[in-house]
Amino acid sequence: MDTIKEPGLIELIKRGGGFRTIPGAGPQELLANLIGGIYLPPSMDRAALLNAVLEREALMPTAVGSGIALPHPRQPLITDPAEQFVTIAYTEQGLDWKALDGKPVYTVILIVSASAKMHLHTLSRINFFCRQESFRVQLENRVPSGDILKTIEETERTWNNN
């Protein structure tokens, strides 16, 4: 039986890119602008992705605290693991995303996965980084994307060596 190797976070971010400031007066407008301006795999419908992400937000906001939101569809919209991606974007100003800590969101990390298992794998890696103060400071200060990618890559390399 073939097992699918789950891509590391660094690979997903390199696929999804981002690190741009996205306009939007609120979460819905920001998500519409973000999804409207990113590269999507040919198999993915832009309107379907936006609708799925907004439906998920309507159930419960995806703000995780410390100024970060992790929007994603509830159900996979793609089946090919090679089409999964993560996009990191910044807000123009802090947005009220109904975070449990009450803090406005300044960083949005969009997650698009090919299966629930792969989504949880990616989410666990993102959550690890979001708990690291040094990583949050990098996001807050909007350091060059290469610095953030280097942090992720170096950390993932240590995971792969254990």
**Tens digits of per-residue pLDDT, 26-55?**
999 999 999 999 999 999 999 999 999 999
CB atoms within 10 A of CB 147: 11
The token pair at 10 is 């660094």
Binning pLDDT at 50, 70 and 90, where does residue 6 land? confident
**Mean local confidence (pLDDT), 98-127:** 96
**Mean local confidence (pLDDT), 130-149:** 95
Domain boundary assignment for the chain: 9-161
CA dist list (Å): 52 to 108, 123, 129, 151: 16, 17, 25, 31
Is pLDDT of 92 > 50? yes
In CATH, the architecture of 9-161 is 3-Layer(aba) Sandwich (3.40)
Query: What is the pTM for the complete model shown?
Result: 0.94
What pLDDT does 118 receive? 94
Where b means 16+ CB within 10 Å and e means fewer, 28-50 reads: eebbbebbeebebeeebeeeebb
**Mean local confidence (pLDDT), 64-82:** 95
* Spatial separation of the C-alpha atoms in residues 22 and 154, rounded to whole Å: 28
Binning pLDDT at 50, 70 and 90, where does residue 18 land? confident
Look over the chain and give the mean of its residue pLDDT values, rounded to a whole number. Answer: 93
**Mean local confidence (pLDDT), 5-25:** 91
What pLDDT does 159 receive? 83
Is pLDDT of 62 > 90? yes
Name the residue among 95, 113, 87, 93 with its Cα closest to residue 35. Answer: 87
